[in-house]
Amino acid sequence: MSPTSTPALKADCANCFALCCVALPFAKSHDFAVNKAAGTPCKNLRQDFRCGIHTALRDKGFPGCTVFDCFGAGQQVSQVTFGGRDWRGDPGTARQMFEVFPVMRQLHELLHYLTEALARPAAAPLHDALRAALATTTEATRADAETLAPFDVGALRQEINTLLLETSELVRAHAPGRKKNHRGADLMGARLSGSDLRGANLRGAYLIAADLSRADLRTADLIGADLRDTNLRGADLRDALFLTQPQLNAAQGTPQTKLPPSLTHPTHWL
């Protein structure tokens, strides 16, 4: 099962109290038109917890909102951790709710990656360990707010990252030819049009405004890669490892860009 076919790992804004619009801070920049402090509602947030400019976020100077994904953490905190009590109706929950949300978001991101790893047949030797990690992380998401607020996600992430690295090695081993290693590389603005990057290690690579048009990125590991304004026009991303919808939303492409079946072409791709 892919992460995007798992309801609990998909953002359900109708069952969330707009936590991403309140709990998280942002600074006036190319991504956001104004400054906003953590715990302060965005000026565009309506009383019904909906965004007043949702259909025009990019035009209004808020493209950063379009590339954020809570991976289902918002509804988990709103409906499970706090049992449907919202921060407006029950102001006493606000501080703790806003503290828990970033923790839950990280846990759900880990669940997203673990679910994808389990869907990879090449990672079969790791499936028992991956299932155990999935169970541990799922259990953590069900804890109460007092337990979640100080939870050490970093330690859990380190343990899981080892499994994800091993998954990556197993999957990428099936790609033909010599695999390029660009892990954490500064490839901002790089001209890589038409490159054969099958099975490449691009974990955490800075690909901001890089030209990857017509590049072959099948089974390339893209976990944590920065794809802001990356040119993906005509690129082949089918079966790319750990690629997320927010990464695509931050990039540039066309309907002809080939994507994994679980992901969709962003509406701003022309």
Same domain, 120 and 28: yes
Same domain, 80 and 156: yes
Same domain, 148 and 184: no
Same domain, 148 and 224: no
Same domain, 26 and 130: yes
Same domain, 115 and 94: yes
Same domain, 154 and 249: no
Same domain, 121 and 246: no
Per-residue pLDDT at 59: 93
Same domain, 167 and 61: yes
- The residue from 141, 172, 203 where one domain ends is 172
Same domain, 165 and 107: yes
Residue stretches of the chain with pLDDT short of 70? 1-5
Q: What is the pLDDT of residues 84-137, one digit of tens each?
A: 999 999 999 999 999 999 999 999 999 999 999 999 999 999 999 999 999 999
End-to-end CA distance of the chain: 30
CA distance 86 to 14: 13
Same domain, 41 and 91: yes
Q: Give the domain range for residue 76.
A: 3-172
pTM of the shown model: 0.94
| Total tally of structural domains belonging to the chain | 2
Same domain, 75 and 128: yes
Per-residue pLDDT at 6: 81
Per-residue pLDDT at 213: 98
What CATH number is associated with residue 210?
A: 2.160.20.80
What tokens were used for 60? 């209004």
196: helix, coil or strand?
Answer: strand
CA distance 263 to 145: 32
